[in-house]
Structure 1
Amino acid sequence: MIRFGIDFGGTKIEAAAIDESGAFVARVRKPNPGEYKAALEVVAELVADAEAMAGASCARLGLGIPGSISPRSGLIRNANSVYLNGQRFGEDLEQRLARPVRLTNDANCLALSEAADGAGAGEGVVFAAILGTGCGGGVVVDGKIIDGRNGFAGEWGHSPLPWPKPEEYPGPDCWCGRKGCLETWIAGPSFARDAGFPNGQATMEAIAAGDASAAAALDRYVDRLGRALAVVCDLIDPDVIVLGGGMSNVDVLYDRLQGAIAPNVFSDVFETPVRKAIHGDSSGVRGAAWLWPQEA
């Protein structure tokens, strides 16, 4: 059985097809057009391209988006691709494509992919955090996404930074209308802004060159991410924490985060591993494809 998935990112939209082993048989990308009707057409084009590349028909489509579906209205909410908000994106795609579409948050897709055959394989409770342009989280328990009663379980990026220091309060303005959300502190652009560099890569290059101010910004980032993850651990005590998104490529995080989380958890022991997503930026689209079980 060939599964098809879409990863709806802020700058690019990706379609892929995977076989029963989880290997790619098709993978195509196009820029996100930034407009609703045009985005529907881009998804349709990508599905057709992936079908041609895979030599198989897409009977059902899995879709990961920034944001979630309101169980009350059926409308998209909380998407930082704000033109999706208030739309019936899944239903509109079903009409455009004439096939079933299953939709969930992109961090849920990351968690599902890594729980299936990635950094969380074999673990019971997997918490996955996207640390990219934005910041989000997903929870998978025994191979199943936990959506929660109201459909927003894992929406960690718009919680406040825990135990803020005086200089951190009230925090930067967030696109959601509040101040000091985790997204304003631990997303990739937030790290670069704090360090005073154009992006995370430039910041890490400065650190490698011996820039003390950039190194201090990384210290602050590790401390803030440690505090943020400690709250997750207090709530669900995951078996593993998996990091995805651009900041997950900062390898020093995996040496330092356990030590940054441990002092903040309400426990005398903290042994939870923090791992890099094995499938990297492929996890989102792979997880979307896994939304349809084989027997569906």
Structure 2
Amino acid sequence: MDRYYWGVDLGGTKIECAVIERSTDKCIVRERIATESDQGYAHILNQIKLLIDRCAEQLEQRPLAIGFGTPGTLDPRHGVMKNCNSTALNGKPLDKDLSQLLDAQVVLANDANCFALAEAHFGAAKRVKPNAEVVFGIIMGTGVGSGVVVNGKCLYGCHGIAGEWGHNVIDPDGAPCYCGQSGCLETVISGKGLERFYFEQSGVELSLPEIVERAAGNDLHAQATLARMSHYFGIAAAQIINVLDPDVIVIGGGVGNIDVLYQQAQQAILPHLFNGELNTQIVKPDLGDSAGVFGAAALVK
């Protein structure tokens, strides 16, 4: 077995690699390089190889397996990438091409899965419940994404879309979503969704931090925006708990920084829960920007 496990966070602007010592879970090498995705798919692959070569030179050892966090999903049926905002990756057999280029086993997962995996293995979920069977990780920022970790492993599903919590309709009369539906959870409780609702109520454009600040004062529109957020989060979280019954829910992203979300979680979830009490722990993440690359490494842990 390799002494180390390797992870790469493949982003639109940067590619980051972390090498973690297997015996201690200590990160011993961490490097990054520009993606330069505008130069095309082949160039992205070459940048990844350059980064791996640099890290391997420091360790005087090449990886046997590498986990990659990607800005999209590998379609399990067709074997190509889909739904990538780095569009040069779409339609490409990224795992096969990387495996051949790097002469290593390659495992891919999207950024939300890597976030959930990182917090399960190294972060908040491990801290509050080290033996958690099921961890549900949520990224609530500009959009809403999520990942499911069961017994330390990512759940991918038949179509590779396990954890697409943000694209379930929560408000049938809500705003249109880029996915083709209207009133998706992403359009309602994402940062952009909250800002849009505040504007619709007040006629004033504010950023999410400004809305949160005003809600602490006497701005009724801001208070209504956060109350609506808690209400819909409670319904949607209860659905996840009823189906998966996770031990821990970790909430990252800008919306995940809003304290009222945690303060009101119990009363927002319980009316919709098929249980008389709520024991799932709902917590903020521990790892911040490190989650992507650490989660990628955990894919091959």
Establish whether TM, by shorter chain, passes 0.5: yes
> 1:215 — aligned with what?
223
- 1:179 maps to 182
Q: Please tell me whether the aligned partners of residues 171 and 181 of structure 1 are also in contact (alpha carbons under 8 angstroms).
A: yes
1:254–1:96 Cα change, 3 Å = same
Q: Distance in 2 between matches of 1:48 and 1:192?
A: 44
- In our comparison, the structure showing a higher alpha carbon Rg is 2
- What is the TM-score normalised by the length of structure 1? 0.84
- AA aligned to 1:61 is I
What is the SS of the residue equivalent to 1:224? helix
Q: Give the secondary-structure state (helix, strand or coil) at the position aligned to 1:24.
A: strand
Instruction: Choose from 267, 270, 290 the match for 1:262.
Output: 270
**8 Å Cα contact 2:136-2:249 kept in structure 1:** yes
1:107 is the counterpart of 2:112: yes
Q: How does 1:1-296 map to 2 (within 5 A)?
A: 1-10=3-12, 12-20=14-22, 21-30=24-33, 33-35=36-38, 36-37=40-41, 38-51=43-56, 57-121=62-126, 122-161=131-170, 164=171, 169-196=172-199, 197=205, 199-208=207-216, 210-293=218-301
In structure 2, the CA distance between the partners of 1:11 and 1:206, relative to structure 1 (3 Å rule), is: farther
Structure 1 unaligned spans of 5+ = none
SS of residue in 1 equivalent to 2:124? coil
> 1:25–1:53: 8 Å Cα contact kept in structure 2?
no
Indicate conservation of the 8 Å contact 1:112/1:144, yes or no: yes
Aligned-partner Cα distance in 2 for 1:87–1:206 = 46
1:47 partner SS? helix
CA contact (8 A) 2:68 2:109 kept: yes
1:89 CA displacement = 1.8
Give the aligned length. Answer: 287
Output the CA distance in 2 between the equivalents of 1:195 and 1:55.
55
How many Å separate the matches in 1 of 2:216 and 2:32?
32
**In the TM superposition, what is the alpha-carbon distance from 1:272 to its structure 2 partner?**
1.4
Question: Is the 8 Å Cα contact of residues 5 and 66 (structure 2) preserved in structure 1?
Answer: yes
CA separation in 2, counterparts of 1:74 and 1:271?
Answer: 39
Q: 1:278 to 1:171 in 2, by over 3 A?
A: same
Call closer, same or farther: CA 1:226–1:51 in 2, change over 3 Å: farther
**Alignment CA distance shift 1:212-1:66 (3 Å):** same
Query: Partners in 1 of 2:139 and 2:275 — Cα distance?
Result: 25
Deviation at 1:31, TM superposition (A): 5.5
> Aligned partners of 1:11, 1:173: CA distance in 2, in Å?
28
Structure 2 gap segments, 5+ residues each: 200-204
